[in-house]
Structure 1
């Protein structure tokens, strides 16, 4: 990796970190950037998962007080996340590289559609929710099954997973937005953690590119959080939408 390429990856990582801290969706840019940097699609996907892991882990820890109130539910989601994430990662490694290459444009499109409808999903979660009570435990099995499927997707690809998790959490009827965010981050952290371990053991991670972009996302995330009040989330989301759909169109059209 040349110095110029490292600098570009770092800058793009910074931008993605800023976007993640304000509007989310930075991963939509990280994955295709790694491909355009010359990495095989499967390697870019695995490396992108590792880049995203630290931020989710730190954010999940910040919600520990909310999560401690629902220890049983958290235990269920941790088990589901670890198992599903592992299966998704193994599925990615099992799939022939050329088949995954063919899926890339469609996976990007799915991620962009999920990002585009994020506000609708979030509004529906809050509108259909109510305070949790013991009777809602009967819904845990439904949630576990759905989140297991989502976790497999997360270990396999992952982009847009937070929006899928929000959509399935509405079944629980959780009204506390802080608890919803905590559960989402906990599940993503579990999915990415075991998937990351599998990717590292398989030897497909591009560490040079990954660490450079990870450093950029950390710095960008800090700067974005610091100056969030001066930046407009709506404008950031529009920027991601334009860039994301442009990249998606490019991957559909390229030979």
Structure 2
């Protein structure tokens, strides 16, 4: 990796950290960047996951005020995120690389659709909360199962898992959207952190590969981006942000299908 490539990965990390704190689809920036630089898709995905953990943590830290009083909720839902992430990470490491090449373009396409429809989804959730006066502090079994499934997705690939999480939380819980966004950031940190730990153990056992320079660059960039995203990201025009994500995601699909 030369200086220009390293700069591109660092910049992608900053963008991904900020996007994850606000929207939750930052992997659609960093993963395609690594693939475009010539790294194999599975190696790119594993290295990207490990590198983004610090950004997830910094994004959750940026929402620390909103997370006050959320301990019981995070413990309950976090257990689903942790278990789902382990399952998804094991699927990534045990399924043949050819399966990843086939599955991931479809996952990216689904993620892009979620990015595009997010405004309408949020408006629907807001209207639903206004009509529903029932307070559900933990969301019940259906939310736990939904978070578990999202954790599997996040452990396997994870782009736009934050959008899925905020939708699930908004449907099942009667709470302020900013509080739910803070919970979403904390749960995404659990998913990525658990998968990163699994991947690191497997790397030590010689079962997978990790590009540690890419991890370091993404980690530094996403940590900065996560803090900036939590503080300043709401000032970015949503249409511009979604346009960038969609453009990068489409480029990733093209790159993967033409390799």
Q: TM-score, normalised by structure 1?
A: 0.85
Other structure's SS at 1:117 match: helix
Other structure's SS at 2:210 match: coil
Map of 1:51 onto structure 2:
51
**Cα distance, 1:82–1:38 mapped onto 2, change above 3 Å:** same
Contact 2:53 2:219 in 1 (8 A): no
Map of 1:240 onto structure 2:
245
Asked if 1:217 corresponds to 2:213, the answer is no
Other structure's SS at 2:67 match: helix
Map of 1:34 onto structure 2:
34
Map of 2:109 onto structure 1:
109
Contact 1:125 1:166 in 2 (8 A): no
**Cα distance, 1:207–1:118 mapped onto 2, change above 3 Å:** same
Task: Tell me how many residue pairs correspond in the alignment.
Answer: 252
For residue 247 of structure 1, report the CA deviation from its aligned partner. Answer: 3.0
**Cα distance, 1:249–1:211 mapped onto 2, change above 3 Å:** same
Map of 1:5 onto structure 2:
5
Cα distance in 1, alignment partners of residues 229 and 46 from structure 2: 25
Cα distance in 2, alignment partners of residues 65 and 200 from structure 1: 31
| TM-align CA RMSD | 2.7
Cα distance in 1, alignment partners of residues 69 and 231 from structure 2: 29
In the TM superposition, what are the counterparts of 1:133-172 in structure 2 within 5 Å?
133=135, 136=136, 139-172=139-172
Other structure's SS at 1:146 match: helix
Map of 2:212 onto structure 1:
207
Structure 1 gap segments, 5+ residues each? none
For residue 250 of structure 1, report the CA deviation from its aligned partner. Answer: 3.8
Cα distance in 2, alignment partners of residues 30 and 65 from structure 1: 28
For residue 233 of structure 1, report the CA deviation from its aligned partner. Answer: 3.2
For residue 239 of structure 1, report the CA deviation from its aligned partner. Answer: 2.5
**Cα distance, 1:222–1:177 mapped onto 2, change above 3 Å:** closer
Q: Deviations over 1:89-143 (max 9, x none)?
A: 111111111221222322221221121122222222222124563xx36841111
Structure 2 gap segments, 5+ residues each? 204-208
